[in-house]
Amino acid sequence: MQWSVKTVEHMEAYENLITTTDPKTIKLTSIDDEIHAHLLDKFPEFKDHANLRVVDENWLKSKEGKERWREWLANYEQSLPDYNFGTMLRARSDELYSEHNAILVLRAQFVAIEIARNRAGLNEKVYHEAQNAK
């Protein structure tokens, strides 16, 4: 039960962050540059913003996807705290978390994808919508 409480707290904190802070200025870790470069090197499909805008859960959890991510994740066991902790990722970057817009992933996957989304400007829509709603 405790992991689910932490997962929800993290989800709420991240949603609050991207709706109150310009996502292009957000730094998630001290090694954001390394994580981003490594993600794009090992997963060149994320250079296509369409694959970042909408993350395919079936691909993430496919046999091939799991194998590729397992190899990538091993690099962060020592440098990224809680790298393998369950974390919610928004499937669509242009929407907030919801029952239909949440995928359970590992923390390192979340960090890598959200760094890439922030740098590509894909979280700008939710930020601007939140700012305009104030």
CA atoms within 13 A on the CB side of 91: 13
What CATH number did the domain enclosing 69 receive?
A: 1.10.3560.10
Phi, psi of 122 (to 5 degrees): -80, -15
Summarised one tens digit per residue, pLDDT across range 15-73 is: 999 999 999 999 999 999 999 999 999 999 999 999 999 999 999 999 999 999 999 99
Query: For 88-102, what is the mean pLDDT?
Result: 96
pLDDT class of 1 with cuts at 50, 70, 90: low
Domain count, the chain: 1
User: What is the predicted pLDDT for the residue at 134?
Assistant: 78
Domain interval for residue 118: 2-133
Bridge partners of 9? none
